[in-house]
């Protein structure tokens, strides 16, 4: 595979990129911190059995004008990519959002509007060449409103909806859209939060995502148990949800 | 979903818990400013990776684990400090490279290997890990980022090698891996009847074999005192070993904390006897994976739960060569006399003292034993330490949780120099650990 990864310097994206590099996939990284991109590219080069150099380009989810040049740079470097993975996003607790109104604006733009604008560009490029894979990280938080997920959950609900639409419209034309729904995973994003039961490790979650991509699945819950946890939660009556604090 | 620093507890591998929590960092350069202490995988046994009581958050480095450069021509590796030895072995052993020095577990971070200046079964040949390190990138207490190594900022570098993370935060480590002829180990083991023969046998084996170690039954007395199994090994020649790299073995696990009586004097005696007599009389030769040879206990996840709810401590000391076998016997006599039952105790001959200001090994014999915590542990360790002082030896801080400051000062003439260097790089004493509060009189 020739894959563009947006958000692979950290967390689950980092582990996913490593597993792909180790099996010999060609990779190109997008991100906003050049210094971090350099380090991750070096890490992936060392893991690639062929020791090939991994290219990268500046791209910032806060600045949609950066998307097009970044995707062109990726296309040139890989001489035509066939899949795109987006794992970048912002998380904030309701308390953090209440304390900083500008954070709410940023979170809504980055996780929803700009994420979808990026996906639109990526899917058009992929469809032009007859399809490919588009793997985007949504969240179990988008399945049902819960007290602590707040605006984050709302953006992920919208994103899940959008990704399902892509799958319905374009699978026949060869665009395989994967909506990833991680449960709680121990990464930098969730650092400092209380760790609930069934929390996942980034490397295991990444392995699940890679398997789902390889199988052409449309959606994947990871760790797997979250599929059943969410099945219960989405069926709980609202008066129960009002009382729960998780 | 709120922070619960007030409720959380943290422990070293010995499972003696104290209040504290980890803050995991993917980006040490950003997060190390103002941190009180870095902690890798928490495999030091005692309190070296625990925060001082007044500032209960340590910076956990394992998420910062990127390889920043690897040169396939020379083996030179540079990586972030949280990279584990397990990952290094997984990636580079199949390509014919191995760490120049490995401790007895692969669940350690590069930063931790430097801070403890770890040694291994090849100490008589290769010295400690720090002797091989080419460069470190560090965050000093005043916020500066510094590159140091044996050739630049050497004073800081050698204070950091074996400096228990107290001279500054280690962010990156550069070390050359060593070429190995195959990813397999040619190993031999043999029964040794007593401590005197053991010390002789370790010396003899050390002439021909890069890796040597002994497991001794420290409940045996009299003529059989210090009997055990000597193990020696080297990386095998590619002719005559399987063409494939060894597979990672399935791990077993101790599912819960065992009751405290499980490892009693009697069960340990039974185990040690079976272990000794279970080995054939002749020399046993095998080709094994490095994982089996170097990290036998890593196969059992949570083996530290075997010692019961109060946890355990490891006591490791090194006795100078000048004392000969008599010194080792005198130490073991004290141990058996006080009823210190240890589940297999490890004996190793050490080469020259390294250049790290507080690096542990010196030329002589190192003895390491596990001690389940009871009400008598402090007195037992006090007595062992007094004997170590008489014999001119010293203890390993990475294992320690009970040594008294006055004992440590008496074993360690280099301590003054180390503390002087620490003051130079951290005048305010802002980087410290539970261990440095206990042993060096840092403010809590």
pLDDT in tens, B304-327: 998 889 999 999 999 999 999 999
- What is the pLDDT confidence band of residue B341, given thresholds at 50, 70 and 90? low
Check CB contact of B68 with chain A, cutoff 8 Å: yes
Mean pLDDT calculated for residue range A130-134? 96
pLDDT tens-digit readout, B23-75: 999 999 999 999 999 999 999 999 999 999 999 999 999 999 999 999 999 99
Alpha-carbon distances of A80 from A1, A126, A227, rounded to whole Å: 11, 9, 35
Token readout for A80 is: 């035509």
Q: Is residue B4 predicted with pLDDT exceeding 50?
A: no
- Could you give phi then psi for residue B122, rounded to 5 degrees? -105, 25
Check CB contact of A146 with chain B, cutoff 8 Å: no
Residue B21's closest chain A neighbor by CA? A192
Contact check, Cβ <8 Å, B72/A51: yes
Task: Determine the straight-line distance between the first and last CA of chain B, rounded to whole angstroms.
Answer: 29
Question: Whole-prediction pTM value?
Answer: 0.95
Task: Write out chain B residues lying below 8 Å of A56, CB-based.
Answer: none
Query: What's chain B's average pLDDT?
Result: 94
The shortest CB-CB distance from A192 to any of B3, B27, B63 is to: B3
- The single residue listed with the structure tokens 């043999």 is B190
Minimum distance, in Å, between the CA of residue B117 and any CA atom of chain A: 25
- The single residue listed with the structure tokens 């005192």 is B225
Task: Write out chain A residues lying below 8 Å of B4, CB-based.
Answer: 194
Residue A246's closest chain B neighbor by CA? B1
- What is the pLDDT confidence band of residue B264, given thresholds at 50, 70 and 90? confident
Contact check, Cβ <8 Å, B66/A40: yes
pLDDT tens-digit readout, B220-249: 888 999 999 999 999 999 998 888 888 877
pLDDT at A225: 95
Q: How large is the ipTM? A: 0.94
Buried b (16+ CB within 10 A) or exposed e, B55-70: ebbbbbbbbbbbbbeb
Which of the 8 DSSP states describes residue B198?
H
Minimum distance, in Å, between the CA of residue A183 and any CA atom of chain B: 15
Mean pLDDT calculated for residue range A163-182? 98
Check CB contact of A193 with chain B, cutoff 8 Å: yes
Residue B75's closest chain A neighbor by CA? A46
The shortest CB-CB distance from B1 to any of A14, A39, A194 is to: A194
Domain range spanning residue A107? 2-243
**How many domains is chain B built from?**
1
Minimum distance, in Å, between the CA of residue B81 and any CA atom of chain A: 13
Could you tell me which of B21, B107, B85, B86 has the C-alpha nearest to residue B59?
A: B21
Whether residue B204 is contained in a domain is answered as yes
pLDDT at A150: 84
Q: Are the C-beta atoms of B195 and B328 separated by less than 8 Å?
A: yes
Whether residue B391 is contained in a domain is answered as yes
DSSP B34-93: T-S-EESS--SSSSTTSPPTTS-EEEE-TT---EEEE-TTT-EEEEETT-BHHHHHHHHT
Minimum distance, in Å, between the CA of residue B137 and any CA atom of chain A: 14
Domain range spanning residue B295? 185-404
**How many domains is chain A built from?**
1
CATH of the domain at B393: 3.30.70.2520
pLDDT tens-digit readout, A200-227: 999 999 999 999 999 999 999 999 999 9
Check CB contact of B74 with chain A, cutoff 8 Å: no
pLDDT tens-digit readout, B391-408: 999 999 999 999 999 999
Contact check, Cβ <8 Å, A10/B72: no
CATH of the domain at A65: 3.40.50.720
Q: How far apart are CA A208 and CA B198, in angstroms?
A: 51
């Amino acid at each position: 595979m020739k894959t563009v990864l947006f958000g692979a310097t950290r967390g689950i994206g980092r582990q996913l990129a490593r597993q792909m590099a180790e099996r010999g996939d060609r990779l190109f990284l997008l991100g906003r911190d050049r210094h971090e991109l350099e380090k991750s590219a070096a890490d992936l080069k060392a893991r690639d059995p062929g020791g090939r150099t991994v290219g990268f380009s500046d791209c910032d989810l806060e600045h949609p004008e950066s998307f097009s040049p970044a995707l062109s740079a990726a296309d040139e470097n890989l001489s035509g990519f066939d899949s795109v993975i987006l794992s970048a996003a912002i998380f904030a607790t309701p308390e953090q959002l209440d304390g900083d109104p500008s954070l709410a604006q940023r979170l809504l733009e980055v996780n929803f509007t700009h994420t979808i604008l990026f996906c639109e560009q990526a899917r058009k490029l992929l469809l032009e060449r007859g399809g490919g894979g588009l793997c985007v990280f949504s969240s179990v938080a988008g399945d049902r409103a819960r007290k602590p997920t707040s605006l984050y959950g709302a953006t992920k609900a919208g994103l899940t909806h959008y990704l399902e639409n892509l799958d319905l419209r374009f699978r026949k034309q060869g665009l395989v859209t994967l909506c990833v729904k991680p449960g709680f995973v121990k990464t930098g994003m969730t650092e400092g939060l209380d760790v609930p039961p069934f929390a996942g490790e980034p490397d295991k979650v990444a392995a699940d995502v890679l398997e789902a991509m390889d199988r052409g699945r449309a959606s994947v819950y990871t760790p797997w148990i979250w599929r059943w946890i969410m099945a219960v939660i989405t069926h709980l009556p609202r008066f129960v949800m009002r009382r729960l604090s998780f | 979903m709120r922070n619960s620093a007030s409720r959380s507890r943290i422990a070293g591998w010995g499972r003696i818990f104290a209040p504290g929590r980890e803050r995991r960092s993917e980006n040490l350069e950003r997060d190390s400013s103002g941190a009180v202490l870095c902690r890798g995988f928490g495999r030091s046994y005692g309190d070296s990776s625990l925060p001082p009581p007044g500032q209960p958050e340590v910076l956990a480095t394992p998420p910062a684990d990127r390889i920043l450069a690897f040169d396939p021509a020379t083996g030179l590796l540079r990586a972030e400090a949280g990279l584990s030895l397990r990952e290094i072995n997984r990636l580079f052993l199949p390509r014919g490279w191995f760490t120049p020095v490995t401790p007895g577990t692969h669940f350690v971070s590069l930063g931790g290997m430097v801070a403890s200046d770890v040694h291994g079964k090849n100490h008589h040949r290769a010295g400690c890990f720090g002797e091989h390190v080419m460069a470190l990138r560090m965050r000093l207490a005043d916020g500066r980022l510094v590159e140091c190594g044996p050739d630049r900022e050497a004073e800081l570098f050698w204070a950091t090698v074996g400096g228990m993370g107290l001279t500054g935060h280690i962010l990156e480590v550069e070390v050359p891996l060593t070429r190995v002829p195959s990813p397999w180990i040619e190993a031999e083991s043999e029964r040794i009847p007593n401590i005197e023969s053991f010390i002789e046998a370790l010396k003899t084996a050390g002439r021909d074999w890069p890796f040597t170690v002994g497991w001794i039954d420290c409940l045996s007395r009299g003529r059989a005192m210090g009997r055990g199994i000597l193990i020696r090994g080297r990386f095998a020649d590619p002719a005559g070993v399987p063409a494939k790299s060894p597979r990672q073995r399935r791990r077993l696990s101790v599912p819960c904390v065992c009751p405290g009586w499980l490892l009693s004097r009697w069960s340990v005696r039974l185990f040690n006897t079976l272990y000794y007599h279970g080995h054939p009389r002749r020399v046993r030769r095998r080709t094994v994976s490095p994982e089996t040879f170097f990290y036998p206990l890593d196969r059992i996840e949570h083996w530290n739960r075997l010692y019961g709810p109060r946890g355990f401590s490891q006591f490791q000391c090194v006795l100078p060569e000048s004392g000969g076998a008599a010194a080792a016997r005198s130490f073991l006599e004290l141990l058996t006399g006080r009823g210190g039952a240890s589940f297999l105790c490890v004996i190793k001959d050490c080469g020259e003292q390294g250049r790290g200001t507080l690096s542990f090994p010196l030329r002589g014999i190192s003895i390491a034993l596990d001690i389940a915590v009871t009400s008598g542990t402090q007195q037992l360790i006090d007595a062992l330490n007094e004997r170590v002082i008489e014999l001119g030896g010293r203890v390993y801080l990475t294992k320690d949780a009970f040594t008294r400051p006055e004992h440590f000062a008496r074993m360690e003439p280099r301590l003054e120099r180390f503390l002087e260097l620490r003051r130079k790089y951290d005048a305010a004493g802002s980087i410290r650990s539970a261990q440095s509060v206990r042993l060096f009189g840092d403010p809590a």
